[in-house]
Structure 1
Amino acid sequence: MEWLVAKGGDVNAIYNFNCNDKYPTPEMWTEMEGTPHPILGYIDLLYGVIIMILYIPCLVVMLQKENIRLSCFKIMFLLGFVDLCAIAVNSVTTGVLMIEGAVYCSHPKTIFIAGALGLGFWCSACLICLILVLNRVLDILFPTLVKKYFSGSRTTCVLLIPIAYGLYFTILTPPLLFTSRYQAWFFDPFIYQNKTLEYQNYPHTANNLFIVVATCALYGYFCAAISKQFRKRLESTNKKSHAQIFLQSTLICMANFIAAMVYVYMQFFPVADFVIVIGHMSWQLGHGCPAIIYLFMNTTIRSGVSKIFRFKKPINTRTTTTVSVVGHGHQHHHHSSSLQ
């Protein structure tokens, strides 16, 4: 984004981004280089709209006073907000561009800005996801550390890190750019031949590799620790809640894991079209699946959404109630100070 600001908003003045070097008008770029994909475009668009509709009531429930005071819900809310913004880029905007058959030079300024924002949202969400899993792991295995690092306003301070991280990628690194020819976003605007490596975003590659390594390490440790507790014959309710924590956390991060690996590979090496589509779908699922997981697997959010839409009568909560967090099924009493 800094390149665009430095050139006063003139994308064609950016080095190696001059669309006029090949065709004189955006319309010619679309006609000569683009490939319309109306069916896939409408699917992307529909998916984006549905996810937004599902996600918004989940965020409303997270903001409720009894929920937002918990550190995990603060993390989940930021992740949800970032996911919504990312879906606007990788599904809604992508759908419109796919229907048209657009390439970068069809709408250079719009795609440049959207790609910069989409990249920032992706990298920020990756880090938030890891913080979320770390929060859950500490909550189960080291409750005292949760109080130390996530109590009160400390969670907000921790969440400033992924916000700054996302802004770094948005402002200071090369943006993702859409091309309907390959039905996905690349760093190469495909204006010139054999210049792909000149457009690479190496901080993005480092981010994706870090996510892969950190996710494997964290889940490996998590699995070992949970298995050890299982061998100690935990109560059946705890076994069930821990299994739910593992399942839901895994589902939330698995799409990010796949997208991270595919996007790193396809930026450097030629791959089949279906691999590119899988990578893009993983990016979409990485930002969309949390909403589905929350609604189907998180008792607190599902109950809260049901009350909002009056799908069922509100439950009397005057007695001590429990909250299952991060779609993780792990329960905390409202009067508990373990996450405050």
Structure 2
Amino acid sequence: MNNCNGTESQAYLDDWYSPRLGALYAVLGVGYSIIYIPCIIVMREKDLWINTCYQVMFIVGVLDIGTLMVSAVVPSIYMFIPLSIDCHPVAIQILACWTCQLFWNAYCFMAVVLIMNRCVFMASPSNWHERLFENGRIWLWAAAALVYGCMFIAVFASPYGTLQFHSGAGIYIWASTDVIGSKFSTFNNTATGFLIPIGYILLALIIRRKRMDATGSAAQTTTAEKRLQLQAILICAPTCIAALFYYFAPQITSEVVVYQVIHVVWISSNGRILLC
């Protein structure tokens, strides 16, 4: 029986109190954020900012930090207090349906834009790349990402989508009343998980073709370009892994511990700037 009057009954704590897992989330979320912030500040330096890829990565980084807040930092607080779904429905709903959906789905959108940016730049740097990404058009993509994230907020704020954070289990769950919310999340995770590797396969083919067509020094990719491609891959690959885990896991098992591991993978996917 849930205890909503502030007293600490053992049954309530058994259901909704998870300090060890909460401490892990807090350490990961705060640690990644502290290291991440200087990295995105560096991306604003003039010699990097002129490259549209770094502009996209800057936006991805901001969304990353926002996602770390709703996947790790704020949930860890809920796991220490603890706050149950029944006792604090508004607080849990804002965390799960609004901020979580906004940041994660907007972030996935921009991760796909990042690989698209790389492909278009390598294939047509002076034509389509200029039309799609230069002269401030990056911010139009960022606005589109926010609109995409808000679409998920609308779904989960409606009677047809119900996503909640369970402070005892330390994971987001779909309630039995959910009708289409889980389908929207599955669509996002599936699209992200498959579009990113397809994009990098296409990028590899574009680079291979350009090398075969080029001669002399033009056939060699510069060190800076190689580093930039590697950074883009390291940023997007963990996102792809986390999305695919969320896609395949419901088809394989319902064990809570599996979803707790996947949640840690999700947190780590938003802290992968350390790899760069």
After TM superposition, the score normalised by the length of structure 2 is 0.82
Q: In the TM superposition, what is the alpha-carbon distance from 1:123 to its structure 2 partner?
A: 0.5
The 5 Å alignment of 1:145-294 reads: 145-173=128-156, 174=161, 176-188=163-175, 195=176, 198=179, 200-230=181-211, 235=217, 238=221, 240-241=223-224, 243-266=226-249, 270-290=253-273, 292-293=274-275
SS in 1 for 2:172: strand
Distance 1:48 1:234 in 2: 47
CA distance in 2, matches of 1:244, 1:220: 17
Over alpha carbons, which structure has the higher Rg? 1
d(CA) in 2 for partners of 1:234, 1:171: 54
Larger % of helix: which? 2
Q: Which residue is 2:125 aligned to?
A: 143
Deviations 1:288-335 (A, max 9, x none): 213x24xxx4xxxxxxxxxxxxxxxxxxxxxxxxxxxxxxxxxxxxxx
State the one-letter code of the partner of 1:82.
L
Identity of aligned residues (%): 22
Q: Secondary structure at the match of 1:104?
A: coil
1:161 CA displacement: 0.8
Quote the RMSD (CA, aligned, Å): 2.9
Shift of 1:45: 0.7
CA contact (8 A) 2:22 2:170 kept: no
CA contact (8 A) 1:37 1:98 kept: yes
Q: Which residue of 1 aligns with 2:55?
A: 74
Please state whether the residue corresponding to 1:25 is helix, strand or coil. Answer: coil
Q: Deviations over 1:51-107 (max 9, x none)?
A: 221222223223344543432232222212111111111111122223345442243
Q: Which deviates more from structure 2 when the two are superposed, residues 262-271 or residues 147-156?
A: 262-271
Aligned positions, number: 266
Q: Partners in 2 of 1:177 and 1:30 — Cα distance?
A: 20
Q: Deviation per CA, 1:181-202, whole angstroms, max 9, x where unpaired?
A: 43211122xxxxxx36647432
CA gap 1:266/1:183 in 2 versus in 1, 3 angstroms: farther
Partner amino acid, structure 2, of 1:155: I
Gaps of 5+ in 2: none
Q: How far apart are 1:138 and its partner, in Å? A: 1.7
Partner of 2:109: 127
